[in-house]
């Protein structure tokens, strides 16, 4: 069976060595030494100033919204994982959807200004599949109207834009370290900011507002992560250069092999120094073509994913808003299997299925 992704796991002996140390200390959570070690190693690896390791990428978005005390309307993209929208609603704000660019698949910055009004408090954009948004144009709009910028950078580990980690852009960037990601801690996530006051607020928010065992500064939740998850991250981080190099090779192989197929590919944003090649989406001409392809793959125990589907402006807990490009793309886009030990032979088989049945996919 070939799934859309498969978790990279380090040698079990390496992880077990950290687990033994955790058992020896009997310190499983609450800002343990491995958590601090992971945060420092991540800052060094990513060349970022600040980050906080959290329990997951969804709570990272929620904490970012809470830290800025946002209210009213937040402009966002309809083409993302559902957590981007649900976090806005969860924090009692209203998502205002702006349609996407059909090539980058990111929010179309040309359409943002017309969505701004006196109730708008922020822009929450996603770097879709790790592909950078037009961060300069978005920041210019935000500065013009006094808005905060939060990036859902869940797919972005390793992406570098104009010489800096993509996590360095915006007022806050958030990411996921879920088991399906390039870098993972089993479950986990992080927030990034260069604002010391917001960093302090988010640090309090992730641990109930504790300033000491018996004192608190404002409301908070339990968004901490454990020593066991930090240990996994430390182990995986050792292999990140190898993981990224292999992923780029696989991504380029798909792109070259499928160059004559009647599908479209994502266009990587100009100025991207390193695209992390985290996903390989293809866009069919119609939804029927996509469904035919899915059926063919599934019949051979291959399971790509309709990612992202449906368009988030259509979920049942938001007001109906028209986003025709996102609605169309979401019905026609499919992510092909891509993971560390996917072989070239398996990639060839996937490509061959598409080419052999191309008439059914037109």
Q: For the chain (length 362 residues), average pLDDT per consecutive 10? A: 98 98 97 97 98 98 98 98 98 98 98 98 98 98 98 98 98 98 98 98 95 90 97 98 98 97 96 98 96 95 97 96 97 98 97 85 60
Q: What is the dihedral of CA 196, 197, 200, 202, to 10 degrees?
A: -110
Residues 215 and 262 in one domain: no
Do the strands 264-265 and 280-283 form a parallel or antiparallel pair, or are they unpaired? antiparallel
- Residue ending a domain, among 205, 237, 269, is 237
What is the rounded distance in angstroms from the CA atom of residue 193 to the CA atom of residue 284? 38
User: Strand 172-176 to strand 148-152: parallel, antiparallel, or no bridges (unpaired)?
Assistant: parallel
* pLDDT, tens digit, 9 for 90 and up, residues 173-190: 999 999 999 999 999 999
Distances from the Cα of 19 to the Cα of 34, 50, 52, 260, angstroms: 10, 26, 22, 49
Give residue for tokens 């649900």. 86
Residue 228: the pLDDT is: 98
Q: Which of 244, 57, 37, 64 is nearest to 148 (CA)?
A: 64
**Cα–Cα distance between 303 and 141 in angstroms, integer?**
40
- Asked if 15 and 135 sit in the same domain, the reply is yes
Instruction: Write down the pLDDT at residue 320.
Output: 87
Using alpha carbons, select from 362, 153, 116 the residue that is nearest to residue 278: 153
**What integer pLDDT is reported at residue 104 of this predicted model?**
98
Q: Which two tokens stand for residue 295?
A: 């059926």
Domain boundary among 184, 207, 237: 237
Q: Give the Cα separation of 106 and 308 in Å (integer).
A: 12
If DSSP codes are grouped into helix, strand and coil, which group holds residue 101?
coil
Residues 6+ apart with CB under 8 A from 312: 77, 78, 79, 80, 82, 84, 85, 95, 97, 318, 326
Indicate whether 13 and 154 sit together in one domain: yes
Check residue 361 and give its pLDDT. Answer: 63
Instruction: Tell whether 82 and 213 lie within a shared domain.
Output: yes
> Looking at residue 211, what is its pLDDT?
87
Kind and range of the H or E element at 82? helix 82-90
Q: What is the number of structural domains in the chain? A: 2
Print the domain residue range for 266.
240-361
Domain boundary among 237, 262, 289: 237
- Pairing status of strand 52-54 against strand 189-192: antiparallel
Residue 277 CA to residue 342 CA, distance in Å, equals: 14
Q: Are both 213 and 244 inside the same structural domain?
A: no
CA distances for 155 relative to 132, 184, 234, 281, angstroms? 10, 11, 19, 13
Same domain, yes or no: 200 and 251: no
φ/ψ (deg, to 5) at 49:
-75, -45
Residues 264, 303 share a domain? yes
Look up the CATH number of the domain holding residue 346: 3.90.1150.10
Are 148 and 216 in a shared domain? Answer: yes
Do 263 and 322 lie in a common domain?
Answer: yes
Q: Judge if 261 and 181 occupy the same domain.
A: no
Does residue 213 share a domain with residue 350? no
292 in the same domain as 145: no
| Confidence at residue 356, expressed as pLDDT on a 0 to 100 scale | 86
């Amino acid at each position: 069976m070939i799934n859309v992704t498969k978790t990279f796991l380090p040698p079990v002996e390496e992880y077990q060595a950290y687990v033994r140390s955790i058992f020896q200390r009997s310190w499983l959570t609450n800002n343990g030494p491995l958590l601090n070690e992971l945060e420092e190693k991540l800052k060094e690896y990513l060349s970022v100033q600040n980050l906080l390791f959290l329990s997951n990428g969804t709570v990272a978005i929620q904490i970012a919204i809470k830290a800025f005390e946002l209210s009213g309307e937040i402009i966002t993209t309809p083409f993302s994982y559902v957590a981007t929208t649900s976090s806005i609603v969860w924090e009692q704000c209203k998502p205002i959807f702006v349609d996407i660019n059909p090539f980058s698949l990111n929010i179309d910055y040309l359409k943002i200004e017309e969505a701004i009004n006196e109730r708008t408090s922020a822009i929450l954009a996603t770097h879709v599949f790790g592909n950078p948004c037009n961060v300069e144009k978005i920041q210019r709009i935000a500065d013009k109207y006094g808005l905060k910028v939060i990036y859902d950078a869940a797919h972005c580990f390793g992406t570098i834009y104009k010489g800096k980690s993509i996590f360095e852009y915006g007022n806050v960037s958030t990411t996921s370290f879920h088991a399906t990601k390039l870098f993972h801690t089993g479950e986990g996530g992080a927030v990034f900011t260069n604002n010391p006051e917001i960093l302090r607020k988010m640090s309090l928010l992730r641990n109930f507002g504790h300033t000491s065992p018996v004192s608190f500064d404002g409301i908070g939740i339990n968004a901490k992560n454990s020593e066991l998850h930090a240990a996994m991250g430390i182990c995986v981080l050792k292999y990140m250069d190898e993981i990224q190099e292999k992923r780029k090779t696989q991504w380029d192989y798909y792109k070259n092999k499928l160059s004559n197929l009647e599908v479209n590919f994502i266009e990587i944003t100009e100025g991207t120094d390193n695209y992390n090649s985290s996903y390989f989406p293809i866009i069919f001409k119609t939804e029927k073509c996509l469904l035919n392809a899915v059926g063919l793959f599934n019949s051979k125990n291959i399971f790509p994913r309709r990612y992202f589907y449906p368009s988030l402006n259509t979920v049942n807990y938001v007001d109906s808003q028209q986003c025709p490009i996102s609605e169309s793309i979401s019905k026609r886009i499919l992510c092909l299997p891509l993971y560390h030990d996917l072989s070239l032979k398996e990639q060839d088989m996937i490509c061959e299925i598409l080419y052999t049945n191309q008439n059914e996919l037109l």
